[in-house]
Chain A
Amino acid sequence: MQDDTEDPVSDSTITPPSVIGGHQTFASVTDKISAIALAKRTRTGWFIGAGISFLLTMLLLYTIGYLVLTGIGIWGNNIPVGWAFDIINFVWWIGIGHAGTLISAILLLLRQQWRTSINRFAEAMTLFAVASAGLFPLLHTGRPWLAYWLFPYPNTMGVWPQFRSPLIWDVFAVSTYATVSALFWFIGLIPDLATLRDRARRRTAKIIYGILAMGWRGSARHWHRYETAYLLLAGLATPLVVSVHTVVSFDFAVGIIPGWHTTVFPPYFVAGAIYSGFAMVMTLAIPLRKFYGLEDFITMRHLRNMSKIMLATGLIVGYGYMIETFTAWYSASTFEEFMIRNRMTGPYAPLYWLLILCNILIPQILWSKKARGNVLLLFVVSIIVNIGMWLERFIIIVTSLHRDFLPSSWAMYRPTFWDFSMFLGTIGLFLSLLFLFIRFLPMISIFEIRTILPQAEVHEAGD
């Protein structure tokens, strides 16, 4: 399926042609995007997708109910594999969120205009991914209603968090991340919410969008403050792209388990997070643009740029695997060497080689310019990368734990039904939130798209 909106010069230019395809005007942009949120009739396809997602969310709620009543023994993890799906899925979801932050904050500061059509739903994706991620450690505590003990607050029990533990850093890193991402997303929405308020015909819609728009009138003063706030938040969010997954990598690297304790983990985890995040943006963007006819807004140029970022971050991840393997031999440490050999030939070896196939080998096809222009292929590759990044976390976490220092404590890890139902359930939660988002909010930033139309360019006198 070669896409027809392809622009031939997009690959090698400093000032490429307009980011927006077709012949859009200010009015047509507003109409096209707001119509999706304001439409009276909901499309059948939406109901089918949202319905399936909703059922999966019900499965999640059922699992959580059973889990809280019974205890986390319903999961497959047990000593020596004390961490399994709960943390695999946590890291997977948190990683996915990173593309949203990178697109909205770093690409904004780098003045990359092409970010504009994808930032809104990438940010929404970040939020929903962080929400899904947060469930896992919360429920893994066993008594989620006591999770506030993780925060340092003066209490009569003398309970105080262990600040030398990266798990506590995680609490702060992830909660900061969730807060900043939510603020960033909501502030970015305000001018568009006002547009929806003004265009809505039904009274309830008017009132709800009106409340959410927080009295936005679009005055010069509003815009002035808005721009300042948005840039400040972008500045605040930028370090989070690196810091959150760095702290997540410390969860492993600070311990001394072979396979976890290695110094390259922080940059390699961050690259992996961005890799999986862009893969998820592609997985979502490609069907969305098709289904809602948004090919003029999410153009081939976006898909090409994202596939280039995927290729680059995927290579960094490959570097991580390479240097880890080399150092395992070079270290001359029995345990390090055993760990790598066990990964490659041990009981989980098929998963390891599947991971190499999904994460390293198949994505190399993105070197080809032709492949970067093939939408169907990009969609397939992005799903493969999502699977590969999940397998990566499985391999890192499970293979490092199941062969302990003491052979007498070796054991195999097998996920139970409840491990899978919880994971599928969070996918359902994520997709349900996403379906609600694309139905009721503008999934592409209307006012920012207007600023990058050619008509918006102001020419100075004598220019």
Chain B
Amino acid sequence: MIEIIDKAPPEVDQFQRRALMVGVVASAVCVLGAIFNLDQFFRSYLVAYVFWLGITLGCLAILMLQHMSGGAWGLVIRRLLESATRTLPLLALMFLPVAFGVRSVYIWAQPVAADAPEALKQALAHKAPYLNVPFFLARAVFYFAVWNLMAYFLNKWSLEQDRTGHRPLTTRLQALSGPGLVLYGLTVTFASIDWMMSLEPQWFSTMYGVLIMGGQALSAMAFIIAVVVVLSQYKPLSEVIKPRHLHDLGKLMLAFLMLWAYFSFSQFLIIWAGNLPEEIPWYVRRLQTPWKWVGLALVVLQFALPFVLLLSRDLKRNARRLVVVATAVIVMRLVDLIWMTGPEFHEGAFRIHWMDVIMPIGLGGLWLAYFAHQLKARPLLPIGDPFLEEALAPSGH
């Protein structure tokens, strides 16, 4: 069985070319847009960027999680997760526009307006030791160094195991994954404070990092399900992926969905009930403006509907239906990120710029092309893992 698991199918090549084309065209259109409205370009870019970075980092976290937990579900998707983490150098490069756009996007990076409210002035003065451009950039360099180092070793040892089949490598991967998850939690928390929460520099929520991590895991799981389903139409994965694998992955997506909803609702309830002047404006801008319809859509389409659908065992075992739910979840993640950031750019007014839609497509095209490129680089299953045979056995779990 193992012999047939070799390289990715030729369809991946075709996908890579198309993704690259779409990515280049859409990005070029947005660069044109930047000439007319540079500020808007940087804002749209930030949202698109954190969306695709979120999927990548979610894959990094799930990769470490499956090393810790073991199980067949992790083995069949390990190579897809690894391919996603190998895009982190590209994402580090893609951070440059965010770095250049700091002064367009973040209020705290701009000179304080003379007529700004006193409370804002005070908050900015207080936070200046943390929210300043050099430290902001230094932190970003640190985050990318940590993420890339972890991805590098996880990929290196996994490839080594392909050749040698050494069992101690499994232990080594586990030994990295435990502290790796701790580092992931800390870096993502502060990255999300830096890149998203500080858009409204007066607002704060201790749940924010946890909420972003939940969203990353959710979008990554949905993305992986979509990739698994597509690849399972072609050899070699068509020989390997069985409904029970999809079932397990579907259950995990359901678990992440519930976690995300739990974090979101808890944050909302606590802030709503407290109704404090320093916290509630964030929700007022999102729930007492036309943005509320977006919020409602999130409740229905990012939680209620997929939740009910994913309860069904049949749906989780049906590739075509599962991929529809996964795609919807991915799209709603983007909507969620727009909802979390958009109201800050227009003082609560509801405005969607065309670049908010085109930029994620452009960045996504480039990212997906690079992902496909990485996917081709290695066998689609970790052929050296001592537990692979067992995981693929007809009755194994």
Known contacts: A254-B274, A332-B122. The answer to whether A323 contacts B209 by CB under 8 A is yes
Assembled-state Cα–Cα distance A315/B193 (Å): 20
Q: B395 and A263: CB pair below 8 A? A: no
Q: A12 and B123: CB pair below 8 A? A: no
Known contacts: A111-B397, A264-B207, A330-B204. The answer to whether A250 contacts B390 by CB under 8 A is no
Write the chain A residue with the least CB distance to B278: A333
B-side interface mostly:
helix
Contact of A256 (CB < 8 Å), options: B185, B274, B387, B395: B274
Q: A261 and B266: CB pair below 8 A? A: no
Q: B204 and A327: CB pair below 8 A? A: yes
Is B318 in contact with chain A by the CB < 8 A criterion? no
Write the chain B residue with the least CB distance to A311: B178
Known contacts: A332-B126, A332-B127, A333-B278. The answer to whether A264 contacts B395 by CB under 8 A is no
Q: A463 and B395: CB pair below 8 A? A: yes
Is A69 in contact with chain B by the CB < 8 A criterion? no
Mask of A318-342 contacts with B, CB within 8 angstroms, 1/0: 0110111001001111000000000
Residue from the set A12, A256, A261 with the largest chain B CB neighbour count within 10 Å = A12
Contact of B390 (CB < 8 Å), options: A14, A111, A332: A14
Contact of A264 (CB < 8 Å), options: B122, B170, B210, B276: B210
Assembled-state Cα–Cα distance A324/B71 (Å): 35
Which chain B positions have C-beta within 8 A of A12?
170-171, 174
User: Which residues of chain A in 245-290 are interfacial with respect to chain B, using CB atoms and an 8 Å cutoff?
Assistant: 246, 250, 253-256, 261-267
Q: B130 and A330: CB pair below 8 A? A: yes
User: Which residues of chain A in 319-375 are interfacial with respect to chain B, using CB atoms and an 8 Å cutoff?
Assistant: 319-320, 322-324, 327, 330-333, 367
Which chain A positions have C-beta within 8 A of B391?
14
- Interface size range of chain A in the complex: 35 or more
Is A13 in contact with chain B by the CB < 8 A criterion? yes
Is A4 in contact with chain B by the CB < 8 A criterion? no
Is B1 in contact with chain A by the CB < 8 A criterion? no
Contact of B267 (CB < 8 Å), options: A13, A263, A367: A263
Is A242 in contact with chain B by the CB < 8 A criterion? yes
Residue from the set A322, A330, A460 with the largest chain B CB neighbour count within 10 Å = A330
Assembled-state Cα–Cα distance A331/B201 (Å): 9
User: Which residues of chain A in 183-222 are interfacial with respect to chain B, using CB atoms and an 8 Å cutoff?
Assistant: none
Q: A13 and B70: CB pair below 8 A? A: yes
Q: A264 and B387: CB pair below 8 A? A: no
Is A44 in contact with chain B by the CB < 8 A criterion? no
Is B142 in contact with chain A by the CB < 8 A criterion? no
Known contacts: A263-B205, A263-B206. The answer to whether A246 contacts B397 by CB under 8 A is no
Q: B276 and A324: CB pair below 8 A? A: no
Assembled-state Cα–Cα distance A333/B279 (Å): 11
Q: B266 and A256: CB pair below 8 A? A: no
Is B269 in contact with chain A by the CB < 8 A criterion? yes
Which chain A positions have C-beta within 8 A of B170?
12
Is B262 in contact with chain A by the CB < 8 A criterion? yes
Assembled-state Cα–Cα distance A254/B270 (Å): 5
Known contacts: A14-B71, A14-B390, A261-B276. The answer to whether A267 contacts B185 by CB under 8 A is no
Q: A324 and B127: CB pair below 8 A? A: no
Is A15 in contact with chain B by the CB < 8 A criterion? yes
Mask of A88-108 contacts with B, CB within 8 angstroms, 1/0: 000000000000000000000
Q: B206 and A323: CB pair below 8 A? A: yes
**Interface of B with A (CB < 8 Å)?**
70-71, 122-123, 126-127, 130, 170-171, 174, 178, 182, 185-186, 189, 193, 202, 204-210, 262-263, 266-267, 269-271, 273-274, 276, 278, 387, 390-391, 395, 397
Q: Can you list 15 A-B pairs, Cβ within 8 angstroms, ordered by A?
A: A12-B170, A12-B174, A14-B71, A14-B390, A111-B397, A246-B262, A256-B276, A263-B205, A263-B206, A265-B206, A266-B266, A267-B262, A323-B209, A330-B204, A333-B278
When A and B form their complex, which 5 residue pairs have the shortest distance between CB atoms, in order from nearest?
A264-B206, A263-B207, A332-B126, A14-B70, A266-B266
